[in-house]
């Protein structure tokens, strides 16, 4: 029974495909999976938008939306209808083709990332050997669409937003990759399915997730920071800082194209959360051996929602960074920590089993964290400003 429930979607798909001739089964199977992914994540997006608005509202001691439907749960429908019926305005001086393509490319590349994410036992669209690489290749392409949007709008705010976005995304892409590389070093595989499998054993009923190691924990923190920045999420939402840049790179977008940007960003958050839970939190695995009877996909989506909750919580807490703070943080704190973490992971690998590696690795990381943090936090003494005037 447990096994059946765990594999229900896989079994269902095979049962559907059983009615088709042999040669059709593979392509139709892919189409079914793709349609499921494309249908599922926008639905989750709709739920999350209302949860976010209510959650942030509660954080600010407000009620949040509660007018459309019971407790406001039909709010996304109202939002969707609104954005669908709005006029789609393209500025006369905009590059219409690029302007049109940008949101589409964003959504497409964001959805491509899900192709390699295992969402449950045997529930992965393509078990690619270089899955992680593919994922990051797709993730990096979102930068392209963001810059396309900012550039083609021919609006200074759009362009400023896009420039910020590119600077930020490229900076944090490095940290994102380096924090994931430790996992690849430990598992020896780029396949996300294999990475989950590598965490799939329990001792004393507790799982061997990578987050429960010093290097894994450090990498997870760095990954979370870089992932937040990568999805342009508060406190790293400079590219669309509404108080400075109207709306950043999607200033000139309205109607459904804007909704596509919005969707793309949210789905990118799901995607980053999904990858994070795959790499560090054991993917679709149960957190305790005793809870393994619960279907794997419930665990995956549960972890997804928990990390979305953290995203919302962080958004409701932290104010936006300044551009120089953002860059300093990326290059002076996150990157050195990631590089050090690579070294620590190697140390862990070659120190063999035992308590010593725990102590040594933790000590190195904590020491580095404190010292780099203190260096970064030190108040800089700037003298009085001096000016040199042109002759």
What stretches of the chain adopt beta strand conformation (E)? 202-203, 206-207
Q: List the one residue out of 162, 149, 161, 169 whose CA is nearest residue 257.
A: 149
The correct pick among 1, 324, 355, 374 for binding another protein (CB under 8 A) is: 374
State which residue, 205 or 373, has the beta carbon closest to another protein.
373
Give yes or no for residue 59 binding another protein (CB under 8 A).
yes
In whole angstroms, what is the distance from residue 306 CA to residue 313 CA? 10
- Least CB distance from residue 310 to another protein, whole Å? 9
The correct pick among 58, 82, 322, 332 for binding another protein (CB under 8 A) is: 58
| Window 315-334: residues binding another protein (CB under 8 A) | 316-318, 333
End-to-end CA distance of the chain: 85
State which residue, 275 or 321, has the beta carbon closest to another protein.
321
| H-run or E-run covering 17 | helix 8-17
CB 204 within 8 A of CB 363: no
In whole angstroms, what is the distance from residue 388 CA to residue 391 CA? 9
Q: List the one residue out of 68, 97, 102 whose CA is nearest residue 257.
A: 102
- Least CB distance from residue 122 to another protein, whole Å? 37
- Least CB distance from residue 353 to another protein, whole Å? 31
- Least CB distance from residue 77 to another protein, whole Å? 21
CA 30 to mean position of chain CA atoms: 24
Alpha-helical runs (H) found in 69-155: 75-85, 96-112, 131-152
CB 38 within 8 A of CB 111: yes
| Window 279-318: residues binding another protein (CB under 8 A) | 313-314, 316-318
The correct pick among 14, 62, 322, 349 for binding another protein (CB under 8 A) is: 62
In whole angstroms, what is the distance from residue 236 CA to residue 250 CA? 16
Q: Candidates 9-17, 61-69, 166-174, 260-268: pick the segment binding another protein (CB under 8 A).
A: 61-69
State which residue, 305 or 369, has the beta carbon closest to another protein.
369
- Least CB distance from residue 315 to another protein, whole Å? 10
Give yes or no for residue 363 binding another protein (CB under 8 A).
no
The correct pick among 4, 19, 21, 61 for binding another protein (CB under 8 A) is: 61
- Least CB distance from residue 334 to another protein, whole Å? 12
Q: Candidates 1-9, 57-65, 266-274, 382-390: pick the segment binding another protein (CB under 8 A).
A: 57-65
- Least CB distance from residue 78 to another protein, whole Å? 17
- Least CB distance from residue 318 to another protein, whole Å? 7
State which residue, 276 or 282, has the beta carbon closest to another protein.
276
Residues 6 or more apart whose CB falls under 8 angstroms from that of 265 comprise 231, 232, 233
Angle at 131 between CA 103 and CA 203, to 5 degrees: 125
Residue 373 three-state SS: helix
Give yes or no for residue 31 binding another protein (CB under 8 A).
no
Phi, then psi, of 207 in degrees rounded to 5? -80, 160
How many residues line the site for another protein (CB under 8 A)? Answer: 21
The correct pick among 2, 60, 126, 306 for binding another protein (CB under 8 A) is: 60
Residues belonging to the chain: 391
- Least CB distance from residue 220 to another protein, whole Å? 14
Q: List the one residue out of 125, 335, 372, 150 whose CA is nearest residue 261.
A: 150
* Residue found by looking up tokens 């996992």 in the block: 183
Task: Note the residues at the interface with another protein (CB under 8 A).
Answer: 55, 58-63, 66, 313-314, 316-318, 333, 369-370, 372-374, 376-377
């Amino acid at each position: 029974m447990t096994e059946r429930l765990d594999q229900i979607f896989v079994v269902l798909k095979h049962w559907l495909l059983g009615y088709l001739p042999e040669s059709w089964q593979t392509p139709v199977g892919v189409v079914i999976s793709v349609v499921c992914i494309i249908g599922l994540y926008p639905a989750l997006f709709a739920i999350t938008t209302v949860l976010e608005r209510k959650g942030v509202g509660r954080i600010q001691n407000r009620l949040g939306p509660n007018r459309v439907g019971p407790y406001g749960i039909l709010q996304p429908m109202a939002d969707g209808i609104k954005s669908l019926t709005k006029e789609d305005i393209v500025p006369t001086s905009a590059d219409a083709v690029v302007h049109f393509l940008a949101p589409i490319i964003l959504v497409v590349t964001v959805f491509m990332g899900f192709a390699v994410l295992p969402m449950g036992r045997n529930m992965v669209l393509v078990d690619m050997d270089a899955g992680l690489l593919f994922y990051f290749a797709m993730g990096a392409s979102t930068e392209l669409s963001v810059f396309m949007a900012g550039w083609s709008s021919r609006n200074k705010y759009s362009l400023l937003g896009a420039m910020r976005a590119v600077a930020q995304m490229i900076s944090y892409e490095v940290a994102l990759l380096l924090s994931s590389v430790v996992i690849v070093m430990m598992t020896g595989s780029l396949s996300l399915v294999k990475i989950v499998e590598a965490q799939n054993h329990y001792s004393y009923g507790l799982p061997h997730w990578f987050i429960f190691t010093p290097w894994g924990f450090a990498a997870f923190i760095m990954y979370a920071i870089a992932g937040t920045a990568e999805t342009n999420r508060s406190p790293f939402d400079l590219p669309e800082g509404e108080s400075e840049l109207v709306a950043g790179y999607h200033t000139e977008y309205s109607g459904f194209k804007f909704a596509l940007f919005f969707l793309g960003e949210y789905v990118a958050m799901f995607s980053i959360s999904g990858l994070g839970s795959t790499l560090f939190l054991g993917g679709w695995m149960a957190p305790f051996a005793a809870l393994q009877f619960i279907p794997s996909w419930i665990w995956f989506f549960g972890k997804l929602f928990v990390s979305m909750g953290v995203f919302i919580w962080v958004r409701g807490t932290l104010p936006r960074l300044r551009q120089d703070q953002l860059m300093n943080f990326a290059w002076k704190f996150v990157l050195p920590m990631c590089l050090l973490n690579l070294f620590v992971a190697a140390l862990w690998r070659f120190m063999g089993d035992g308590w010593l590696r725990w102590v040594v690795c933790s000590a190195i990381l904590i020491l580095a964290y404190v010292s780099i943090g203190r260096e970064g936090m030190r108040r800089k003494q700037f003298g009085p400003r001096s000016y040199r005037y042109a002759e």
